[in-house]
Chain A
Amino acid sequence: MNKLSFSAFNKLGSTVVSGTIKENKENFDRVIDDIKKKQAEISKLKDVDNQQLNIVIKL
């Protein structure tokens, strides 16, 4: 089986070059913001509804 190589990313439209990290702080901050937004969405799902724990399962 062939190992995943940079050509796979290039086929998907990526312009990243092996070993070259673009030190674009503005872009990086946007990435971090997006991650934080996703984390906030997930944390909303963790809210516990105590009422629902009182439902009687009886059928």
Chain B
Amino acid sequence: MRVLPFDEQSFAEALSNEHSTAEVIRHKTHFAYFLKYLGDNGIRVKTMVIEDGYISKDYLHDYASYYAFCFAGYEKICKRIHFFSTEFDEIALKAALLNPAEEAFWNGYKGFIVSKPLPITVIGYTVLSVYPDIPEVREQRIFSALRDYKIHFFGKELTLKSLAFQEQDSVIAACATTAIWSMLNRASTDHHTILKVPSEITKGAGLSQQGGRLFPNSGLEIRQICRAIINCGLEPEVNQGNVIPESGITKGIKVVETSRIKQLIYAYERIGIPIILCIQVPHRNTEYGFHAVAVAGYKMAEDAAVGVWTTPFVADRMEKFYVHDDQFGPFAWVKFLESDGIESPWSTNDEAIRPTYVINAVIPVYPKIRITYENILDLVTPLDGIIKDAFGLQQNDPLYWDIKLDFSESFKRYVMQSSLDDEDKLELIKKSMPKYIWVVTCYVENARFFDFTFDATGVNNAMLGLEIIPFATDDVTSHFHKYLSTWADGLAAIFQTAGGSKYIEHFRTQLETWK
């Protein structure tokens, strides 16, 4: 156990090993990223505690699968570097360990990095706290991919909310495997999902189209990413790129529009499973390369809750999102650009600051979730037109849509906090609902208009509607009911699923219960 002040030199030495000197570590992109993240503009680390002789389960599996069979004698024992935001020396630490009830001391704990005894790729299992909690942005920053980690620090059990990170070792795992591993760290809090170590994830991806060996691993195709996800007990929803940008990307590659990226991150956030984004990044000054990251959270624009917006989706008010990028570090922020590009750490590190593009978004979901965002968008599109016509609104009038997949239990908690009458609240929470539901909220300017809920576990050809909750005055609700009754025959055909003709009748019946 060594206690050191946090500074550039001590940190480089702490990460180094017999294969990688402190000088080598200093040239890694991770080192620059972590210096910033752990420094005064990040989580404000002041002191490091080095735990030598640490056994990391993830590394041990990879060691047994690969490194143990190398001729060179790689170590199987790691070291763990713990970080604190307070200044103290070894005497103070020993005093705190002897008196573990002293909570003030332990509140300064900010997490750890496991340093693996490998050449270059030393960043192993890493659990670090997120950016400091600032009251002004608390409502805007959403990190729903976090989970509790129990950390055993020399006999003291500490709990930290985070999402685990590690860099690829380029042998057992490339970037896609590492992004899946971070995703599984969160998804496995549900007991049906298996948290595999990187070597197991790569094995689960199976053969590529071209065949070839899995280890040393030189990357995964998008199909292999999907297979690896399925083998962990989840289902992948693939959202492909659909536009070809004017410049700056390999010819013919389609990218996902920024508006769609925002909508997807926002829609699936409540379930908490990080989305895997396959991105095309500026690389080696003239080229582009393909990479994968896991989305850990996002930040809405400062005035997201007020004002008139030009887009119909609340999600479009997203300002940036945070990713675990195994070539940089955890919670790296990514900004949206005016074009269909994004500004990732790859862009900011590029001499010409070329944009990054999302080419595919792979959304891992629990198998019981069968209805996709696109399925719900197919229902929202006609609803938007119907409501605008019913209330005499024009195309650009401020009618906004908030679309989220949610747990019905969480929706019921929201109902209890809403402005509904107590009787209505009780009526809603006692209803039997599927575990997963789509909650679609319609706003006019900043006023809540309707909540529509849909069964996320059903069959897309069926009528998926569950509840309509009106928040407007009674005459507004009655007017909508009357509109639906007047045009019922004409509206029946515009929901383009086999069960589409039943939606209008469902909406009418639901609204009658609120009269």
Which partner residue on chain A sits nearest B290 by CB separation?
A57
Contact indicator per residue, chain B 387-410, by CB within 8 Å of chain A (1) or not (0)? 011111110011000000000000
Residues of chain A with a CB closer than 8 A to B381's CB: 35, 38-39, 42
| Residue contact B223 to A59, C-beta cutoff 8 Å | no
Instruction: Please report the number of residue pairs spanning A and B whose Cβ atoms sit closer than 8 angstroms.
Output: 160
Offer 18 A-B interface pairs, CB within 8 angstroms, sorted by A. A2-B447, A4-B447, A8-B444, A21-B486, A31-B388, A34-B385, A35-B382, A35-B385, A39-B382, A42-B377, A47-B242, A52-B222, A52-B360, A55-B221, A55-B359, A56-B221, A57-B221, A59-B291
Interface size on A, residues (CB 8 A): 42
User: Which residues of A in the span 11-59 have a Cβ within 8 Å of any Cβ on B?
Assistant: 12-16, 18-19, 21, 23, 27-29, 31-32, 34-36, 38-39, 42, 44-49, 52-59
Residues of B58-111 at the interface with A, using a CB-CB cut-off of 8 Å, are none
A38 to B254, CA, bound (A): 21
Range for the number of chain B residues in contact with chain A = 35 or more
Across the interface, B175 reaches (CB within 8 A) one of A6, A14, A59, namely A59
Residues of B within 8 A of A59 (CB): 174-175, 219, 281, 283, 289-291, 327
Q: Find chain B residues with CB under 8 A from A53 CB.
A: 221-223, 238, 240, 360
| A36 CA to B360 CA, complexed, in Å | 27
Residue of A nearest to B170 (CB): A58
Residues of B close to A8: CB separation below 8 A: 444-445, 447
CA of A57 to CA of B332 in the docked complex: distance in angstroms?
Answer: 19
> Is B486 in contact with A39, judged by CB distance below 8 angstroms?
no
Query: How far is it, in angstroms, between the C-alpha of A55 and the C-alpha of B221 when the chains are bound?
Result: 5
Q: Does B32 contact A (CB under 8 A)?
A: no
Whether the pair B494, A58 counts as a contact (CB closer than 8 A) is no
Within 8 A of A (CB), among B477-499: 478-479, 482-483, 486-487, 490-491, 494, 496
A54, B34: Cα distance in complex, Å: 33
